[in-house]
Structure formats: structure tokens, C-alpha cells
């Protein structure tokens, strides 16, 4: 794990933050100073269930899954985090309680991590970051609301279409059983769904 971070990498996360708050050069330097670059091979565990989540992960390259495991041992993917997405357990990070989710790399992935202590330092020194976090959190809430509505009102084929709109191109990069898990259907059924779509498109 080399903590040195190239300018391209900083530019990516800076652009992400800039969508919410404007930082001057000094603030940006302070922000960059707390970032920790990490390389995760495929299947690497970033957070395992029951741990306390102490790091906000920003994905520079690759893809991460956030998931939980139900009573029958079935894995449910809660969200994917490809390039330019954030991944962490908000509840656990904010409250310091054991997390109910696991986080793992699906591909070889490079992330920038911000520790909880560093984040609190940023809040004190650059209060704008409070706003950044609050909005990140609000967006997570809104995204979750959409998912609840969809899982209640759409059927599997429509949820699949929504997934493809939300994560363009991701489908080709990750195992389909993970897509099935995200949609809340079995891998077998997703397979037949896809077959149906193909035969309908060009009969």
C-alpha cells in the first residue's frame, strides 16, 4: 500500500467533492493530506460484518460491493460502487456501532480512504465538509427511498432495466449472480430474463 497519491488521482476525488462544495488550494491540500491510497485485489475484504466502519472509501478504479447476509445465509447486494462512487456503512461510521454490512472488492480496486478522525479534523478546520457529508448522506437516503419504491412497485424485468440505467456498463464487468442478488432474484431467473430480452429484441 503506497500512500503517495498521483495528481490524476487527486483530481478525480477533487472533482467529486467540487460537485458539492468549492475548495481553495489550501483547503484542497489539507484534504489531499488525509487521503490514503489502498490497492485491493479481487475479493479483498474492506469491511466485515460486525466490525466498526472507520473509513469512507472513494473508488478510484475497479468496483466494490456492499452487501448483507440474511438468516438463511443468502447474500443481498445493497449497492455497487464503481469508479467515482463512495462506499461505507453510514450508520456504523456515524455512530461507531458494529456494521451490519460487508464490503468487498469485486475487481482489483484502488480506493482513497478517509478515516473518521481525519474527517472530524476536516469538519473543525473546514466546516464546509460538514455540508459535504450531510449531502452525501442525504443522497444515500434518497437513493434508498427510490430502491424501496422500486422493490414494491416494479417487477424484476423493470428493476433490471433500472439497474442498467443506474450503473451503465457495469453489467459487463461483474458476475451476473451479483446483479441477481442486487435485483432480489435468483441467478437462474435473471438468466431467463436476459434470454427473453434477447429473443424479443431480434425475433
Partner DNA sequence: CGTCTATTTGAATGTACTCAAAAGCGGTGG
Partner DNA sequence: CCACCGCTTTTGAGTACATTCAAATAGACG
One residue of 50, 139, 184, 197 binding DNA per CB under 7 A: 184
Task: State the nearest-atom distance from the C-beta of 157 to DNA, in Å.
Answer: 6
145 near a copy of itself (CB under 8 A): yes
Cβ-based neighbours of 20, under 8 Å, separated by 6 or more: 131, 132, 135, 136
Task: State the nearest-atom distance from the C-beta of 158 to DNA, in Å.
Answer: 8
Residue 137 touches which member of a copy of itself, DNA, none, C-beta under 5-8 Å by kind:
a copy of itself
Residues 104, 65 contacting (CB under 8 angstroms): yes
One residue of 11, 15, 18, 94 binding a copy of itself per CB under 8 A: 94
Task: State the nearest-atom distance from the C-beta of 77 to a copy of itself, in Å.
Answer: 9
One residue of 4, 25, 153, 202 binding a copy of itself per CB under 8 A: 153
Exposure class string for 138-164: b at 16+ Cβ within 10 A, else e: eeeeeeeeebeebeeeeeeeebbeebe
Residue 175 touches which member of DNA, a copy of itself, none, C-beta under 5-8 Å by kind:
DNA
Long-range contacts of 9-18 (CB under 8 A, 24+ apart): 9/37, 9/60, 9/110, 9/112, 10/35, 12/60, 12/83, 12/84, 13/58, 13/60, 13/112, 16/58, 16/84, 17/132
Interacting residues with DNA (CB under 7 A): 155-157, 175-177, 184-192, 194-195
Interacting residues with a copy of itself (CB under 8 A): 68, 70-72, 74, 76, 78, 90-91, 94-95, 100, 137-138, 140-142, 144-145, 147-149, 151-153, 184
Amino acid at each position: 500500500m503506497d500512500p503517495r497519491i498521483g495528481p490524476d488521482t487527486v483530481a478525480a476525488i477533487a472533482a467529486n467533492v467540487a460537485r458539492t462544495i468549492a475548495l481553495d488550494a489550501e483547503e484542497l491540500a489539507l484534504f489531499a493530506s488525509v487521503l490514503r491510497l489502498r490497492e485491493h485485489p479481487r475479493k479483498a475484504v474492506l469491511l466485515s460484518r460486525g466490525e466498526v466502519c472507520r473509513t469512507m472509501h472513494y473508488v478510484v478504479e475497479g468496483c466494490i460491493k456492499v452487501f448483507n447476509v440474511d438468516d438463511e445465509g443468502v447474500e443481498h447486494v445493497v449497492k455497487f460502487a464503481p469508479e467515482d462512487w463512495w462506499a461505507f456503512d453510514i450508520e456504523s461510521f456515524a455512530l461507531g456501532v458494529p456494521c451490519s454490512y460487508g464490503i468487498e472488492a469485486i475487481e482489483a480496486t484502488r480506493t482513497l480512504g478517509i478515516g473518521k478522525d481525519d474527517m472530524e479534523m476536516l469538519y473543525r478546520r473546514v466546516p464546509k465538509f460538514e455540508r459535504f457529508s450531510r449531502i452525501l448522506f442525504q443522497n444515500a437516503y434518497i437513493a434508498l427511498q427510490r430502491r424501496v419504491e422500486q422493490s414494491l412497485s416494479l417487477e424484476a424485468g423493470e428493476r433490471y432495466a433500472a439497474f442498467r440505467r443506474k450503473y451503465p456498463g457495469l453489467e459487463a464487468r461483474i458476475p451476473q449472480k451479483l446483479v441477481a442478488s442486487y435485483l432480489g432474484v435468483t441467478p437462474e431467473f435473471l438468466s431467463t430474463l436476459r434470454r427473453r430480452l434477447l429473443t424479443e429484441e431480434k425475433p
